[in-house]
Structures are given as structure tokens and as C-alpha cells.
């Protein structure tokens, strides 16, 4: 395949206001959908392919000769610039709510931090475009794939129809599992349950999970992953079909049904310690043990009565296995895999430094944004990060300056490293960069006392969000530059589109996170249909650093496993297995079904069938469930009908 194309003929549609507005529409819809899917699955999907398909569909629908290859490339570039903030925000900002800091959180500070990240990322990576894309010619596999889609415009109409079909099917199934239209007024129920427990029907023990979520989004993610998602399925089977039975047979769990009722708070605390379950008091309340206990019982032991009821009715041992063993192991694997990803990025770090040095000879060409413009953008980005830490925290001015300077420098380095790693392997060690940033900020600003470290949590997560968004933006922009280079797009026009639209993504993403958390809170996190695993990993790490109270043995073992798995020649294996350990079984098993279906279709019909039929259909399934679910939450907030979908 040629690495460059001839310039487009005069009058050929490329940068147009229609393309810009279409980018905004498509990118906004994708950002909403990917925040939802990121909270549910723990990872976001490559959005450029979906953006290209949607761009073709919308522009051709508008008619009038719209929808040239280069015009669609502009739509895909702009939509990706808006959407890419979803991953950076969804991996970090939800941790604020999970830490119990929601009442102290100013959402506008989160928005400013995200905007700072995207602008700094843009200004850092643009000068490296020519060096990395044209001289070093890194592969950027996703960029190559999108270029292939753009070069086949005749197939766009059929792909659009498949996308719409997937949207409708997924949306209808979500409505069937969420809208309470049956039962009595006191106990309404939906048409379908959102889970199917095959294990219960077959008489499988409760500690061996064989349940599937009735979510086409889960299946669609597996369809897109294909055999690349098998490590996640393997992780789920390892967790629930190997580790859980072994733990049961060795007596590593406690049968809560055989516990004698405690006589007082001290006994209740002792039982809590034995079961490694701080909220065992909830079980006491649900079981009637609470009668006669002193009124001084800590409120922290009474807040989650729903958890207690679930322990009795849905398998106490399985819940203890998940909460006390599998989930901490999964978090440790995620952290270990992320940090090992940084270490394994050594070649990318070396290449990034080399590219930065060589780029001085190539910046300033007529087809690139000028250094003066980039310098102004960099100052704006740094100013936004400073503003985020000033309005969103109680830091002194000196600490604000430290946070801003160190955060900006680390963001720039992370962006360079992630862009190089993406070009070489299509793997982006973004979460590891954010973990390092948050930990660094807590120790720099928080000092050594617990109170000051707690005060440093918000600014640290703001910096983590900026780093995550900025690094994501760097990787995505380089993928888009690769696509544009292959189809003959003008870099300056791509950069203009990115500059005009990229700042909008954080505004949408932070708003959707707040909406899904809900006015009463608790809309995502452990035990919810939106587990937010990446944010939970960050929350666990922050809690452990600040409070010193964490299952460090399981985190440590998980981190060693994650680091070891990262050295295997399998793309993203540590992250996928860590997510499988953390996520509920019904999500990971449904995802695995999608992987197996995709592999079967690929074997029977070939890879072209996957790219032309399965990818657009799966994209529709994801957009349908996510957008309808968010729409139900908007309806619930406005009308208070309780129709929100999580």
C-alpha cells in the first residue's frame, strides 16, 4: 500500500461546514455511548471506524454531492477528536464519586481538566506528525483499517443500514429489560430480566457462575474484539470455574448462614473481620440480629442493606468470593499490567525522544499548524489546568503551581510515549500513565499526613484526568493523521478540525458521568450494572495510599500476575484478564459469547465479512443500548419517573 497520495483535485470537497457540524453530531453521540460502555465494560472501543461509517451515512443522506472520501475523513477526524475524551474521563472522574467526594466535586473543574488535557495533547503531538507519520512511517494499525473503509465508499449505504438495524434491536432489548410496565404499582417489573442465570436452572453451585447479561452491548464488544477478546473470557472462566471452586474446597470462605447472631457491637465487628467484609452489619440487620443491639452501632455498618439481602438470596459465598478475593485480584492485575505497560514502552520512549529532536527540522511547513499557534494553545491548556485545580480544590497557590507544572510536563511526556506505543503496537498504556500521575500528585501535594493527603485527592484526580484525556488525544490524533496521510488529506485542515472540536468532548463526558451517577448517587460502581472497573482500580489505589487500609496481599499478588501477563506476546492480555476478574460474570460471559460468534463468522465467511457486515452491525448495537440508556436517565432526572437505566 502506498504511503502517500496525490493531492485532491481543485474543487474536491474536503473541509466544509457540513463536515464540521456532522463531526460534532456524530462525535457527541459516540462520546455519550462510549462513556456508558466504558463504565460497563472497563474499556472503550476504537471510535474512528464507527465515525467513518456514520460520517458516510449522514453526508450521503444530506445529498448534494456530499460525502467525498476526504470530506468523510474530516468527519471521522472531528468525531474522533470529540469522542476520545470519553476514555480519559471514564477512567478517572468516576473515582471521585466512588471515593465519596461527590459533594466536594465541582463538575466544571473536571471539565476544565479534561479540556486542558485535550489542548495540551494536541499542541504536543502536532509538531511530531511529519516525523512519525512520513519519516518513521509507524504502522498505526487502526489508522490503516480506517483508510481502507474510506476507500470503499460504495459499501457505505449497506453498512449504514446494518448500523441502524443494530441500533433498533439493541434499543428495544434495553427497553424490554428496563421499563417497568408490568406488575403492581407498588412492585412494577420490566418485560424481561436483564440477566439469565443458566447455572441456577442447571443446579450449579452458587460459587460457580454461569450467568449471562441480556445486553447486546456486551455481545457487540465481543463481536468487535473477536479472538483478541478471548483472554477476557479465559479470565472469567479462570475466576469462576477454577479459583472459586478451589477456594470453596479449601475452606477459604465463610458460610454466613452458619454464623451465630452477635450479642453486641464488638462481636459484630469481630464477625466482620472474620469475613473480611466491613459491611457485615448489613447482614445482621437483614437477618434480624440488630434487635437489642446498642443504638451506637456505627452507621457505616447500616448503609447497604441491599447488599445484605443479596448475600442471603443470591448466594452469600459467591458474593464473598467476588468482593473479598476476585475483585481485589482483578484490581491488582489491572494496576500491575498498566505499570508493566509503561516499562515495556521503553522503545517507544526512546523513539519519542528521538522524534522530538528530529521534529525541529520539520516543523513550520506550510501544511502544518505554525509554532506560534501551537505555543498559544499550549499556554491556554496550561492555564485551564491551573484553573481546574484552583476552582475545584482548596490548595494553596504554591501547591496549585506545583500541580500545574508537574502535571503539564508529565502529560506531555505521557502523550509522546502513548503515541509512539500506539504506532508500534496499537496498544495505549493510558491507564498506567494516569495511575502514576495521581500517585505522584498525592505525594507531592499531600505530604505525609492523612488529612493533607485526603485534601490532595481531588487535584490529583484532576491531573490524572488531564493526563488520561491528553494521552488518549495524542494516540487518536496520530491514528487520524495516518488515515489522512493515506487518503491524501491536508494535515493543516485535519488539525483545524481537531482544534475546533476536541475541547467539547470533556464537557459531554463529565456531564454523562454525573447523569449516570444520578441525583441520589450510586449509579455506578461495585454491585451496579455499570461497575466502572478502571475507576474502581484508581479509587482502590488512592484509598490504599491515603488510608493505608487495603487488601494489599491481594493487590500485590494481582500486580505480580498482571506484570507477568504483560510480558506475554498477547495484546492487552493483562488488562483483559484483570477486567474479567473484576467485572461480574454475567458481563464477561456475554462478552465471550460475542467473541466466539465473531470467530465463527470469520472462519466461515472471512475477514471481509467481519469488516463489512459485523463491524457496522456491532457498532449499532453499542450505540443503541448506550444512547437509549442515557436517554432514560435524562427522562428520569427531568420527570422523576424512575425510568433511569443503569
pLDDT digits (tens, 9 = 90+) for 413-461: 777 777 766 666 555 667 667 777 887 788 787 665 666 667 778 888 9
Q: Would you give the end-to-end CA distance of the chain in angstroms?
A: 45
Weakest-pLDDT range from 148-157, 189-198, 429-438, 522-531: 148-157
- Please determine, for residue 70, whether its predicted confidence score (pLDDT) is greater than 60: yes
Grid cell at residue 635: 427522562
Q: What is the pLDDT of residue 510?
A: 94
**Mean pLDDT to the nearest integer, 178-183:** 63
Residue 276's Cβ-side half-sphere holds a number of Cα atoms within 13 Å equal to 20
CA distance linking residue 521 with residue 527, whole number of Å: 13
**Mean pLDDT to the nearest integer, 587-591:** 86
Residue 94's Cβ-side half-sphere holds a number of Cα atoms within 13 Å equal to 35
**Mean pLDDT to the nearest integer, 144-157:** 70
C-alpha dihedral, 110 to 116 to 121 to 126, nearest 10°: 150
301-340 burial, b at 16+ Cβ within 10 Å, e below that, comes to beebeebbebbeeebbbbbbbbbbbbbbbbbbbbbbbbbb
Neighbours of 521 (CB within 10 A): 12
- Please determine, for residue 124, whether its predicted confidence score (pLDDT) is greater than 60: yes
341-375 burial, b at 16+ Cβ within 10 Å, e below that, comes to bbebbeebbebbeebbeebeebbeeeebbeeeebe
Q: What is the pLDDT of residue 571?
A: 61
- Please determine, for residue 383, whether its predicted confidence score (pLDDT) is greater than 90: yes
Mean pLDDT (the chain) is: 75
The DSSP bridge partners found for residue 118 are none
Q: What is the pLDDT of residue 211?
A: 80
Residue 513's Cβ-side half-sphere holds a number of Cα atoms within 13 Å equal to 34
CA distance linking residue 216 with residue 401, whole number of Å: 46
Q: What is the pLDDT of residue 376?
A: 87
- Please determine, for residue 199, whether its predicted confidence score (pLDDT) is greater than 50: yes
CA distance linking residue 203 with residue 585, whole number of Å: 17
CA torsion sign for 544, 549, 553, 554 is negative
Grid cell at residue 388: 481546574
195-197 and 180-183 as β-strands: parallel, antiparallel, unpaired?
Answer: unpaired
Helices (H), 426-456: 430-446, 450-455
DSSP assignment string, 325-388 = IIHHHHHHHHHHHHHHHHHHTHHHHHHHHHHHHHHTTTTT-TTS--HHHHHHHHHHHHHHHHHH
DSSP 197: E
Weakest-pLDDT range from 234-248, 310-324, 366-380: 310-324
For the ranges 114-128, 249-263, 290-304, 307-321, the maximum mean pLDDT occurs at 114-128
DSSP assignment string, 126-160 = GGGHIIIIIIS----HHHHHHHHHHT-GGGHHHHH
**Mean pLDDT to the nearest integer, 139-144:** 68
DSSP assignment string, 237-271 = HHIIIIIHHHHHHTT-S--GGGPPPPSSHHHHHHH
The 10s digit of each residue's pLDDT in 229-248 is 888 888 888 888 888 788 77
Q: What is the pLDDT of residue 161?
A: 84
Q: What is the pLDDT of residue 137?
A: 66
In contact, 348 and 424? CB cutoff 8 Å:
yes
For residues 274 and 156, which has the higher predicted lDDT (pLDDT)? 156
The 10s digit of each residue's pLDDT in 58-68 is 887 776 666 78
The 10s digit of each residue's pLDDT in 5-26 is 445 555 567 888 888 999 999 9
CA torsion sign for 51, 57, 62, 68 is positive
For residues 218 and 507, which has the higher predicted lDDT (pLDDT)? 507
Phi, psi (rounded to 5 degrees) for 363? -70, 145
Q: What is the pLDDT of residue 277?
A: 41
Q: What is the pTM of this model?
A: 0.72
C-alpha distance from residue 523 to each of 453, 613, 630 (Å)? 27, 34, 12
Q: What is the pLDDT of residue 521?
A: 66
Amino acid at each position: 500500500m502506498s504511503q502517500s497520495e496525490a493531492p485532491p483535485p481543485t474543487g474536491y470537497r474536503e473541509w466544509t461546514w457540513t463536515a464540521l457540524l456532522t463531526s460534532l453530531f456524530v462525535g457527541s453521540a459516540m462520546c455519550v455511548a462510549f462513556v456508558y460502555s466504558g463504565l460497563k465494560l472497563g474499556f472503550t472501543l476504537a471510535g474512528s471506524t464507527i465515525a467513518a461509517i456514520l460520517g458516510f451515512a449522514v453526508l450521503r443522506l444530506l445529498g448534494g454531492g456530499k460525502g467525498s472520501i476526504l470530506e468523510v475523513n474530516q468527519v471521522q477526524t472531528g468525531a474522533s477528536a470529540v469522542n476520545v475524551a470519553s476514555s480519559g474521563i471514564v477512567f478517572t472522574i468516576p473515582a471521585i464519586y466512588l471515593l465519596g467526594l461527590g459533594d466536594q466535586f465541582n463538575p466544571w473543574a473536571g471539565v476544565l481538566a479534561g479540556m486542558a488535557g485535550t489542548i495540551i495533547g494536541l499542541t504536543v503531538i502536532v509538531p511530531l506528525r511529519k516525523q512519525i507519520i512520513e519519516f518513521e512511517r509507524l504502522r498505526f494499525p487502526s489508522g490503516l483499517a480506517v483508510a481502507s473503509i474510506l476507500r470503499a465508499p460504495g459499501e457505505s449505504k449497506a453498512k449504514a443500514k446494518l448500523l441502524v438495524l443494530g441500533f433498533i434491536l439493541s434499543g428495544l432489548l434495553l427497553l424490554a429489560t428496563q421499563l417497568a410496565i408490568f406488575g403492581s404499582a407498588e412492585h412494577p417489573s420490566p418485560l424481561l430480566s436483564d440477566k439469565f442465570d443458566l447455572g441456577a436452572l442447571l443446579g450449579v453451585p452458587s460459587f460457580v457462575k454461569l450467568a449471562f447479561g441480556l445486553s447486546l452491548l456486551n455481545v457487540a464488544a465481543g463481536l468487535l474484539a473477536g479472538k483478541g477478546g478471548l483472554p477476557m473470557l479465559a479470565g472469567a472462566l479462570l475466576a469462576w470455574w477454577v479459583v472459586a471452586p478451589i477456594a470453596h474446597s479449601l475452606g477459604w470462605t465463610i458460610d454466613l448462614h452458619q454464623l451465630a447472631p452477635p450479642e453486641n457491637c464488638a462481636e459484630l465487628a469481630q464477625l466482620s473481620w472474620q469475613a473480611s467484609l466491613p459491611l457485615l452489619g448489613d447482614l445482621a440487620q437483614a437477618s434480624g440480629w440488630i434487635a437489642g443491639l446498642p443504638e451506637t452501632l456505627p452507621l457505616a455498618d447500616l448503609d447497604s442493606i441491599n447488599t445484605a439481602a443479596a448475600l442471603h438470596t443470591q448466594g452469600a459465598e459467591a458474593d464473598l468470593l467476588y468482593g473479598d478475593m476476585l475483585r481485589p485480584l482483578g484490581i491488582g492485575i489491572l494496576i500491575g499490567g498498566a505499570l508493566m505497560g509503561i516499562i515495556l514502552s521503553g522503545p517507544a520512549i526512546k523513539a519519542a525522544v528521538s522524534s522530538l529532536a528530529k521534529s525541529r527540522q520539520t516543523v513550520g511547513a506550510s501544511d502544518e499548524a505554525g509554532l506560534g499557534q501551537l505555543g498559544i494553545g499550549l499556554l491556554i491548556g496550561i492555564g485551564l489546568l491551573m484553573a481546574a485545580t484552583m476552582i475545584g480544590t482548596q490548595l494553596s497557590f504554591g501547591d496549585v503551581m506545583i500541580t500545574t507544572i508537574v502535571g503539564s510536563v508529565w502529560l506531555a511526556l505521557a502523550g509522546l510515549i502513548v503515541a509512539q506505543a500506539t504506532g508500534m503496537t496499537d496498544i495505549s498504556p493510558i491507564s498506567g500513565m494516569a495511575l502514576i500521575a495521581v500517585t505522584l500528585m498525592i505525594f507531592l501535594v499531600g505530604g505525609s499526613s492523612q488529612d493533607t493527603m485526603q485534601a490532595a485527592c481531588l487535584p490529583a484526580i484532576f491531573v490524572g484526568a488531564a493526563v488520561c484525556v491528553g494521552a488518549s488525544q495524542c494516540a487518536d490524533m496520530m491514528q487520524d493523521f495516518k488515515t489522512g496521510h493515506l487518503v491524501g488529506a491536508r494535515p493543516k485542515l485535519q488539525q483545524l478540525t481537531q482544534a475546533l472540536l476536541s475541547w467539547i468532548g470533556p464537557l459531554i463526558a463529565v456531564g454523562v458521568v454525573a447523569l449516570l451517577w444520578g441525583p441520589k448517587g450510586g449509579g455506578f460502581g461495585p454491585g451496579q450494572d455499570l461497575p466502572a472497573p478502571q475507576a474502581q482500580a484508581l479509587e482502590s489505589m488512592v484509598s490504599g495510599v491515603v488510608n493505608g487500609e487495603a487488601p494489599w496481599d491481594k493487590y500485590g499478588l494481582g500486580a505480580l500476575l498482571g506484570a507477568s501477563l504483560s510480558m506475554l506476546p498477547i495484546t492487552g492480555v493483562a488488562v483483559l484478564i484483570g477486567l474479567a476478574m473484576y467485572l461480574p460474570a454475567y458481563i464477561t460471559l456475554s462478552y465471550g459469547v460475542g467473541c466466539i460468534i465473531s470467530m465463527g463468522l470469520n472462519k466461515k465467511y472471512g475477514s471481509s465479512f467481519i469488516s463489512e457486515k459485523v463491524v457496522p452491525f456491532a457498532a449499532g448495537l453499542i450505540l443503541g443500548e448506550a444512547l437509549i440508556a442515557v436517554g432514560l436517565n435524562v427522562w428520569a432526572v427531568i420527570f422523576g419517573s424512575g425510568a433511569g437505566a443503569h
